[in-house]
Amino acid sequence: MLYFLALLSLSTSANLAKLNQMPPEILGFWRLTIATALLVLYQLLKKNFQTLTLNHKTKWIFISGFFFFLHLWTYKYAAKHTLIANTMVLFATNPIWASLGGLIYFHEKIGRRVYVAYFVAFLGIVYLVGSNLKFAPEYTLGNASALISALFYAAYMLSGKKARQSFSNQVYSTYQFMTCAVFFLLASLLSNHSFIEGYTSISWLAVMGLVILPTFLGHFILNHLVNSINLAVLSCGKLIEPILASIMAYFIFQESLTSSFYVPFALTSVSVMILFWPQIKNFLKRTVYP
């Protein structure tokens, strides 16, 4: 249930970013800085704030934060320099890299259910955006950035799993968000955009929405689950996000859902059921057929 809550929360990211009018660097800075400040404040009030020194264990927290920044930045670059359809399909390769990394570094087995679920979900995404796919030369940099973003996301999950073996989610997430915020600060200073002036109240509300939903209820929960669910499953389930985001866009921005939308929605829903079928079956046994 926590995982489904995380997926639903992460699916709000695109719509909240669309409501926001800040440049990506400024948006990333405020989103991660506010999230870090809230976590630090909570720990100070609970009197359990923990300072870290760089060593062979803590380095993985900072490495994960750096990869998180690179993933977010390259994804935004891809969205601006290629078609959204291209970005979605190329980024959807991230479960491959995360699964391979989990197999090599953590000896996590990749079951047949994961292969089948990934194939079905990927078909759904291709069906959703397939007619808009174009690989013209002018999209080369954007396409490369989308693929690199998928690799960085996998690296962020792998290094995060390594860090979580030694630290609580509260400590890990605090310093991981802090590291990402520092890199967004540097990117913001280089971009020479204003940090405060010229942004509407809707933009600031969207920032808080991004902090609460995709950051805390999304990434924070995934950081918690990374020790109990293998990376192949965690990354494969994310493929339902474009479908959920499209449904939200229908209600928020009145973006139309054509009849062709229902096929990918059905495919990705089936893929999630395949992925979590043992858990679904046990749940039904306990509730429907006790």
pLDDT tens profile 37-62? 999 999 999 999 988 888 889 999 99
Mean pLDDT of the chain: 88
What Å distances lie between residue 111 and 132, 268, 277, CA to CA? Answer: 32, 18, 12
CA distance 67 to 155: 6
- In this model, does residue 249 exceed pLDDT 80? no
In the chain, % of residues over pLDDT 90:
46
- In this model, does residue 131 exceed pLDDT 70? no
What is the structure's pLDDT at 36?
A: 97
Note the pTM of the prediction, 2 decimals.
0.86
Domain encompassing residue 240 = 2-287
pLDDT tens digits for 150-159? 999 999 999 9
CA distance 106 to 62: 20
Provide the number of structural domains found in the chain: 1
Across the range 65-92, mean pLDDT stands at 85
CA distance 47 to 49: 6
- In this model, does residue 289 exceed pLDDT 80? no
What Å distances lie between residue 58 and 78, 112, 167, 182, CA to CA? Answer: 31, 35, 8, 17
- In this model, does residue 288 exceed pLDDT 70? no
Question: What six digits make up the tokens of 235?
Answer: 């990354």
Instruction: Work out the number of other CB atoms within 10 angstroms of the CB of residue 230.
Output: 21
CA distance 43 to 98: 31
Confidence of residue 209 (pLDDT cuts 50, 70, 90): very high
What is the structure's pLDDT at 54?
A: 82
